[in-house]
Structure 1
Amino acid sequence: MEIGLLLLLGWVAGWLTTVAGLGGGVFLILALSLRMSPAEALALSSPALLVGNLHRWAVGRDEVDRRIAWPFALGALPGSALGGLLVVAMPTAVLQLLLVLTSALALARALGWWLPRPPPAAALVPAGAAIGAMAATTGSAGLAIGAILQSAGLSGAAYVATAAATAVAMHVGRIAAYGFGGLVTGETALLSAALALAILAGNLAGGRVRKRLSAPACSRIELGVLFACVALALAGLA
C-alpha cells in the first residue's frame, strides 16, 4: 500500500476520533479493507490505533470516569483476545459482511432509528467482553461504547477520554491475538508505526479544532463519518 495514502488515512482517523469521539478507527479499517483483506486491515490498524488511544487517554487522564472505564476494561481485554483469534480463522467474506452490518447499525443509532439499551453498572464486565470481541472482529466497538458512555451522562472531554481508556484494553487484547495467529509481521509493524505517527498528528489537529466546535457540530461530523463508513463497507462488499 502507498505510504502517502496510509499516512493520509491515519491523519484523518485521528482527527475524526478526537473531534467526534468515535468513528475514526472504523473509517480507517474500512478504507484499508478496500486495498487488503479485512483481517490484514485489522492487524495493521490495531497497533497504530492503540498508540492514538494511549495519547488521548494520557491527554485526558484526569477526565476519565473510572467507575465505567475499569470494569469495562476488565471484560474487554479477554473478550478482544478471543475475538482476535476468531478473526484469524474467519473467512474474508464473513468479515466483510460483519463490517457492513455493524456500520449500518452505528448509522441507525446515530439517526435515532435504533436505540440500544445500555447495560447496568453490574453488567459492565460482561458487556466489556462482548464489545471487546466486536472490536476485534469488526473494529466497530464505538457503537456500543458510545451508548454506555452517553447513558452515563458523559460528554465532551470526559466522553473522549473514557472512550480512549476503554479502547486501550480492547486493542491490547486483540493485538496479542493477531500476533499469535500470524497476522502481525515485521512489515506490518513498520507500516503500523508510520500509521501511528499520522494518527498522533491527526489527534493534535483534532484537539485544536474540537475546542472551537459546539456539541451539535461534533454530532454532525460523527453522523457524516458514519454515512461514509456505510458507503465504504458496501464498496468493500461489492
Structure 2
Amino acid sequence: MENIESNQPITHDTRTLITEAFVQHVLETGREPVSVYKFAQGIGIREEEFYSYYTSFLGVKGGVWEQIFERTIAHMEAQPVHASYSAREKLLAFYFTWIEEMKKYRSYLLALYLQPEGFRKAMPAELRSFKIRFQAFANEIIQQGIATDQIVERKYISDKYADALWAETLFILQFWLKDTSTSFEKTDAAIEKSVNLAFDLAGRTAVDSLVDFAKFLYQSK
C-alpha cells in the first residue's frame, strides 16, 4: 500500500480513511492486515489515532458494514416517492438499494465471506452493529405495517418479526454472494419472493380468517 504523508492531520474523515484503506488492503492482498501499527503507518496516522476510532480490525470490518447500511438508507430516503411507500415497498426498496451499495464492495465481500458452506458462523461478529441498525429500521417498517393492517399483531410472535427479517437479510446476503446470474437476476427474484412471503406470513392469512370466523360463530351462539 502506498504510504501517505505521516503529518496528515486527524480529521472527521479519518474513520472513512481507515475503512477505505482496509478495504483496499483486502482487495490487493486477499486477506486482512495483520499489524495495526504497520497499517496505521501505511495510511499516515499514528497507531494511537487508529484506536481513537476502532479497537481492532474487527471493528473496522463492522465500520464497513455500517457505512454500507447508512448509504443504503440515505439513497433510499432521497427518492421522492419513498415517503409514500407501503411497509412492503419500503422493505423491497431497502434490499434492492442495499444490493446496489454492496456491488461497490463485491470483490471485498467475496474475499472475506464467500465460503462453500456460507458464513463460518451464523452471523460474523462484525455484523452486530449492522444488525442493531437494521432491526431498528425493521421495527419502523413493522409498526407501519401494523398501523396499515399489512401486518397482524400476534401475541408472543410480533416481538420476533424483526428477528425474522434479520434472518431474511442474512439469507439474501449469502444468496447474492453466490449468485452468478446475469445482473444478479436471481437475487432480485429471491428478494421479491422472500419479502412477499414474509408479509404473507406476517399478514392476515386464511388461518387467521378461519380462527376469527370460528370465534364469531362461537360468540354468536
Q: TM-score, normalised by structure 1?
A: 0.29
Higher helix share: 1
Question: Normalised by the size of structure 2, how large is the TM-score?
Answer: 0.31
* Structure of larger gyration radius: 2
Which of 1 and 2 has higher RCO (CA within 8 Å, sep 6+)? 1
